[in-house]
């Protein structure tokens, strides 16, 4: 059986390639989610997996320790094998800010996702628009600064 891999890249001290079994190294969380879909009605699912925050924190995001709120400029781009993409801010998942319980699901409705790859699950999203199946890449990027911060005065 071939396992799907997810590449963690970007402004990280420890980029990595992870499979679903690798994601069991972090504490597992379980959530029940209801997505209100315009085309197929409400869907109910159970997901389990580690928090995105835990996995990315272990990869060592390149925050500037001198700048207290440097992590607020970091973005997280998630790509799925099917071409779907989602963008999150670090502040959404950071416990010091929004603390959103975003999961890298390793199972859906008790079925393992080893061959298909993990899924991005945002339980707080009403319609599941940022739900990504078969994640093959997550990029952490800290290049973004406000226009006034980068322009010459």
- Give pLDDT tens digits for 120-153: 999 988 777 899 999 999 999 998 766 665 544 4
Question: 47 pLDDT exceeds 60?
Answer: yes
What CATH number does the domain located at 5-150 have? 3.90.420.10
Give the model confidence (pLDDT) of 49-99 as tens digits.
Answer: 999 999 999 999 999 989 879 999 999 999 999 999 999 999 999 999 999
Q: Where are the domains of the chain?
A: 5-150
Q: Report the alpha-carbon distance of residue 96 to residue 100 in Å, rounded.
A: 10
pTM recorded for the entire structure: 0.90
Beta bridge partners of 76: 88, 140
Q: Report the alpha-carbon distance of residue 126 to residue 107 in Å, rounded.
A: 20
């Amino acid at each position: 059986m071939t396992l799907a891999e997810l590449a963690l890249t970007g402004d990280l001290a420890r980029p990595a390639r992870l499979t679903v079994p690798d994601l069991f190294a972090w504490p597992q969380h379980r959530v029940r989610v209801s997505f209100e879909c315009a085309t197929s009605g409400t869907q109910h699912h159970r997901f389990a997996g580690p928090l995105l925050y835990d996995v990315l924190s272990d990869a060592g995001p390149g925050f500037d320790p001198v700048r207290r709120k440097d992590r607020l400029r970091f973005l997280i781009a998630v790509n799925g094998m099917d071409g779907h993409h989602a963008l999150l801010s670090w502040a959404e998942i950071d416990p010091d800010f929004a603390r959103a319980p975003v999961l890298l699901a390793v199972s859906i409705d008790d079925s393992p996702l080893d061959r298909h790859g993990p899924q991005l699950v945002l339980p707080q999203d009403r319609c599941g628009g940022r739900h990504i199946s078969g994640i093959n890449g997550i990029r952490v990027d800290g290049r973004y600064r406000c226009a006034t911060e980068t322009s010459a005065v």
